[in-house]
């Protein structure tokens, strides 16, 4: 006799890391306006935000 297929338990929802990307961009704009290098600061803020989002994803994996 075969066993009935057991349903998988629901996976917990993961946290959203997009907020870190948004905060990084906004923080980069503010820092860039203060220093006069908006483009560079936005790119650095974007990089930091992406790194934080990736770390959150890796931690929840």
Q: Which two tokens stand for residue 10?
A: 């629901």
User: Global pTM?
Assistant: 0.76
The reported pLDDT for the residue numbered 5 is 79
The reported pLDDT for the residue numbered 1 is 57
For residue 38, CA distances in Å to 51, 52, 61 come to: 20, 21, 34
Residue ranges of alpha helices (H) inside 1-61 are: 18-35, 38-60
The reported pLDDT for the residue numbered 4 is 77
**Residue-wise pLDDT tens for the chain (61 aa)?**
566 777 877 777 767 889 999 999 999 999 999 999 999 999 999 999 999 999 999 998 8
The number of C-alpha atoms within 13 Å of 50 and in the hemisphere containing its C-beta is 6
Q: At what angle do helices 38-60 and 18-35 cross, to 10 degrees?
A: 160
């Amino acid at each position: 006799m075969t066993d009935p297929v057991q349903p998988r338990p629901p996976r917990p929802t993961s946290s959203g890391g997009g907020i870190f990307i948004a905060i990084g961009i906004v923080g980069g704009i503010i820092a860039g306006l203060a220093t006069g290098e908006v483009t560079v600061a936005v790119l650095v803020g974007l990089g930091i935000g992406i790194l934080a989002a990736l770390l959150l994803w890796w931690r929840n994996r």
